[in-house]
A and B are shown apart, each in its own frame.
Chain A
Amino acid sequence: MDCIRSQELMSLALDNELDQNEQVLFDQHLNQCPDCREEFALYQSMIQDLKQTPEAELPDGFHDNLMQRINEDKVVPFRKRFNYKQLNIAAMLVMVVVFALVGVNNLSDMNQGKMEETMVMEETTESMDMDMEAVVEESKESAEPAMMMEEPAAEMATEPMADDDVAEEEAGMDEGEVAVAEAEMTTTEEANSESDDGNTVTTTMSESQSEDAKSDDAEPNAKLSRNADDENLTAKLSENELEKEPVISLYADEPEEVPPNTMNWLWFVFATVAVATGFMSILIIRMKK
């Protein structure tokens, strides 16, 4: 046995945990090696000192103080204590279910929101028409031919969202202008009809879409020959107005399917109570810890 192996076995040798064969080899090595013998002696005295360390007596009042602390802490007897872990899990489940239900409820709200959005779009295009009027007024003020202003106005009508702000600014600049010539009125009406066409393309059924497409195709020609025959335009306008009717009736029907607002309030109150319960339980658990 070498010194390294002997040092590995010293701890076990101190506790008499070596088997017979190992014990013989260990003893033989100690007899031959003074360093290991000295080290083993140091271990023995060290362990002896530790074992002789007198067991300290409990300080006065240790037990009484302990029982007093237990009573002061108002630690509830084990059986009566509520299982806060279970409460936590239950609260979490309630929160998950409530949020899921609220989520589903919000989905229906979103559908309603979409419809409202399309209605807002409709309103925007209407306000756009007012803006177009202002643009046309400006054109009259600058004494340019109506034919020249027609094309930009038509472009704005086909791209209502992008040019909305510009049109508003222009309208602001022309505040106070009163007189609107009859020719400009017809131009505005055409812009109106065009913007309505754009709206119906996105929202109405395929039948009206095809009809709109036809009318869209017809419009450039109408623009070119606008001054020549205003009667064609007014005829076209009346046709477009007829097309608008079913769209309006579609909007009028749908809001009736939306659940009443009182349901939303119930969900809100229920969700608030559930979330409050969850947070309270978590708070209680943390306080108990």
Chain B
Amino acid sequence: MSNEQDYKLIKKAIKGDSHAFEELIIPYEKKVYNIALGVFKNEQDAYDAAQEVLIKVYKNLSKFKFESAFSTWLHRLAMNTCIDEYRKRKRHMNHTTSMDQSISNEEGSGPIKQFEDKALTPEQQVLQNEVVSEVRSALDMMKVDQKVILVYRDIQGMSYDEIAVILDCSLGTVKSRISRARKALKDIIVKKREQTDG
């Protein structure tokens, strides 16, 4: 969708035309959901985060200044919201019990806590493992800031210039950040392979 079309819809939406707002965001919903999916490990978290992003778009549309493309503004909002949500949930996760946390007892090393996995049966897990590639699982282990930049560059295929606008930084910074993020991902993959082989 061109900028002019977006601008017209935004102006209508700001005047209170909810249909114009729907028309404006429908083409971006899938992108936003996939950005969230790149950041979060599971679909439910991605779903919630994507909804949060689009509600923020609705609430903050009057702050859009028509100086940049709507897609850039939306992506920036999506990135910031997803990173915030990710950190919030990570903090929450740190307060909950880990799946493989051992129970210490008086005799020393206790048994490993056993949890029933209600989400997937072993067969489903095998299928999922086939679908989720090694790279995607390595991506999940990255820092959220680095993960987001790889989602934009290598999954969404955005140009350096677009990312520079979204991150509000120079082209040189974008290049070095992408380079560092890729190196971090490669190191994780190499480490995982070493663990599997060893």
Contact = CB atoms under 8 A, between A and B. Distances in A.
B55 A46 contact: no
Contacts of A17: 160, 175
Contacts of B22: 63, 67
Contacts of A7: 183
B157 A51 contact: yes
B154 A80 contact: no
Interface string A58-98: 11001101110110010101111100000000000000000
B186 A43 contact: yes
Given A43-B182, A46-B189, A66-B55, A58 B30 contact: yes
Contacts of B39: none
B69 to A, nearest CB: 20
Contacts of A15: 153, 160, 178
Interface in B164-182: 175, 178-179, 182
Contacts of B34: 55-56
Contact of A55 (B13, B16, B30, B59): B30
B61 interface: yes
A183 interface: no
A14 interface: yes
B145 interface: no
A73 to B, nearest CB: 7
Contact of B179 (A10, A46, A70): A10
Contact of B134 (A49, A55, A57, A81): A49
Contacts of A8: 179
A190 B74 CA distance: 92
A242 B109 CA distance: 99
A120 interface: no
Nearest to B59: A75
Contacts of A65: 51
B139 interface: yes
Contact of B175 (A12, A56, A67, A75): A12
A21 interface: no
B185 interface: yes
Interface in B47-77: 47, 50-51, 54-55, 58-59, 61-62
A78 B182 contact: no
A42 interface: yes
Contacts of A70: 55, 58
Is chain A's interface secondary structure helix, strand, loop, or mixed overall? helix
B155 A53 contact: yes
Contacts of B59: 75
Nearest to B15: A79
B9 interface: no
A70 B60 CA distance: 13
A158 B59 CA distance: 76
Nearest to B159: A15
Contacts of A47: 154, 182
B139 A50 contact: yes
Interface string B22-36: 100010011001100
Contacts of A69: 51, 55
Contact of B29 (A42, A58, A73): A58
Nearest to A78: B62
Contacts of B37: 56
A69 B190 CA distance: 43
Interface in A1-28: 7-8, 10-12, 14-15, 17
Given A47-B154, A80-B16, A11 B178 contact: yes
Contact of A49 (B15, B18, B30, B135): B135
Contacts of A51: 154-155, 157
Nearest to B47: A59
Contact of A63 (B16, B26, B134): B26
A66 B13 CA distance: 16
A228 B6 CA distance: 112
15 contacts: A11-B175, A12-B175, A15-B153, A15-B160, A46-B135, A46-B186, A49-B134, A50-B155, A55-B34, A56-B37, A58-B30, A62-B29, A62-B47, A78-B14, A78-B16
Given A51-B157, A56-B43, A80-B16, 6 more contacts: A10-B179, A43-B186, A55-B34, A56-B33, A59-B43, A67-B22
